[in-house]
Chain A
Amino acid sequence: MSVSQVAGFRREGTEWISESSGTRWIPVIGLEVHAQLRTMTKLFCGCANRFGASPNSLTCSVCTGQPGTLPVLNCDALELAVRAALAIGAEVAPTSKFDRKNYFYCDVPKNYQITQYDMPYCSGGSITVPSGRTVRLNRIHMEEDAGKSVHDQGDSTLVDLNRAGVPLIESVTEADLDNAEDAAAYLSALREILIYTGVSNADMEKGEMRCDVNISVHPVGAPWRTKVEIKNLNSISNVVASIEHEIPRQIAAWEGVGPDPVQETRLFDAEKGTTRTMRSKEGEADYRYFPDPDLPPLTASPAFIEEQRAALPELPGARRARYQAEMGLSAYDAGVLTAARDVADFFEAAARLSGRPKEAANWISNEILRALSDDEYEAQLIDELPLKPFDLADLIGLVDKGTLHMSGARQVLRQMMKSGKAAGELVIELGLEQVQDDEQLEAWCAEALVGREAVIEQVRGGKTKAVGSLMGAVMQASAGKANPQKVREILLRLIGTAE
């Protein structure tokens, strides 16, 4: 990401220097991220936790807040929440509780949200981003999601409560950030961890991961100033754009262009790339938090925590480091292969079975992942392919032994991705087995030389590169089955030039 130019400011590192006053300003940024947990059901009732169902079809008497109903905690939600905590090195509290956050809004049917206030299940932890900065987390707590309201249809606001009660974890960072790039890197890293650990699908387009930004600016060396909250950012690029807009807006306001910033909640307008006031921040006491009497406290025993720790996969950062150190992959390849857990698992199996990690990496990143993005294949994910890691290992073995040349191997791979047939079977079926028979190869080569005196002279004159066009003729005659190495040797021998 490049640093954007903003009129009236110079940027030096993370400082914003106002050209009119010469003051050096520094931003202070913290992030709050809501992530929906990947459970079958909601947090406190058995309604399905699913996106895209018809309005209110996934609701019951509990999640619509009918009198006399009781919430009961989903044990998988707790397990996933604890895994998220362990994955970022946080502390899981031995006891925690649920509280009611009271406010009136049409998508909160009980008139309170069940959340965790002063005793969250998790505290601490950190994520280090590629720039080297460590972003500390203050806490993670569990809570239920709200429903959705549609404002732009007819005279009424329409309420759909399918999302009401969906389990969320809200993670809150310390104000350790001072620029949009690190904020984006933090969100990518967090998202990757949530997906890897199976805690959340974290698809921002579906609202499975949403971000609020807390941001203020102050002159270098001066105390921190009033912070503003930007709510409900639904993509990492919107987080970046909102920060890049909000910093100069606040500085300009402090420097006298408009009123001083007040503590408020602002909304980001993705089309205009600007933020606008949503409401001035209600004081915390107005939510009148109190322990939810319907939900007993919950405990996390050391044994339970260790069970969850054991269920954690190796995290992407650790995998990347291992691929580079132990398998000799480039940082780029290691990054491509670890971006999704299923790809990394596939790669590791193929590398182990073939004993050729670099070749396995090349096949996966250059051929398989590229092909998956084509419409030609039904599969969207590597796991959905009929081709399995041992098939790829077989293919690598055939190329290694010289049975198959690269272009033939690509052909076989494409067929394997469709049919799932074994590599050896396809080599025969497609007639791709390399011809190693010297007599046959010599016959093709001799044929290729006929009528190409000019090329032969060039080669004799020392321009051995010209042999390429002769090789092309042989490959064509052999339908791609001639072993190119051998063809080259034979051609040069026939012309009378040895390398």
Chain B
Amino acid sequence: MPESKLDLLQKTAELARLELNDEQARALGPQFDAILAHFEILAAVDVEGVPPTRGATDLADVRRQDLIQESGPFEALLANAPDRQGEHYGVPKTIGEGE
């Protein structure tokens, strides 16, 4: 696997918050390569004049009324959290801000 593709693999892993050591990167390399090769086949298809797909179904305008439904189930939702802090989800301390 050429260096640039390894970089791409590392970058992709980083965006997915995955840490790969050299050994793992080498092992994943060929698999990643095969995936990219497959996308190259797709990329080569002539789509001139074909409108972009905006969904996998023919549905459009699926909407609901603006009516309140019961929220929850809170206990079940909070039970999924590895670290529950009262009514909150606890997560490792993050400094900085979201989007």
Contacts and interface: CB of A to CB of B under 8 A. Distances in A.
Contacts of A74: 63-64, 66
B99 A57 contact: no
A75 B64 contact: yes
A342 interface: no
Contacts of A103: 99
Interface stretch (A82-90, A285-293, A372-380, A402-410): A285-293
B83 A156 contact: yes
Interface string A208-236: 00000000000000000000000110000
Contact of B87 (A54, A61, A231): A54
Interface in A288-314: 288, 291, 293, 295-299
Given A73-B62, A74-B66, A57 B94 contact: no
Contact of B17 (A54, A72, A104, A293): A104
A12 to B, nearest CB: 36
B85 to A, nearest CB: 6
Interface residues of A, number: 61
B22 interface: no
B50 interface: no
Given A59-B74, A160-B88, A296 B97 contact: no
Contacts of A46: 64, 67-70
Contact of A151 (B15, B54, B94): B94
A92 interface: no
A67 to B, nearest CB: 10
B87 A157 contact: no
Interface stretch (A22-30, A105-113, A327-335, A441-449): A105-113
B70 to A, nearest CB: 8
B49 interface: no
Interface in B54-96: 54-57, 59-72, 74, 77-78, 80, 83, 85-96
B2 interface: no
B91 A157 contact: yes
Interface string A135-170: 000000000001001110011111111000000000
A279 interface: yes
A354 interface: no
Given A48-B71, A156-B92, A299-B61, A56 B85 contact: no
- Kindly name the residue among B17, B80, B85 whose own CB sees the greatest number of chain A CB atoms within 10 A: B85
A149 B92 CA distance: 11
B30 to A, nearest CB: 23
Interface of A: 39-41, 45-48, 54-61, 64, 66, 72-78, 95, 97, 101-108, 113, 146, 149-151, 154-161, 231-232, 267, 278-279, 286, 288, 291, 293, 295-299
Given A156-B83, A156-B90, A286-B15, 20 more contacts: A39-B66, A41-B67, A55-B86, A58-B71, A59-B71, A60-B69, A75-B63, A75-B64, A76-B65, A77-B66, A106-B89, A146-B98, A149-B94, A151-B94, A231-B97, A288-B15, A295-B62, A296-B54, A296-B57, A296-B59
Interface of B: 15, 17, 53-57, 59-72, 74, 77-78, 80, 83, 85-99
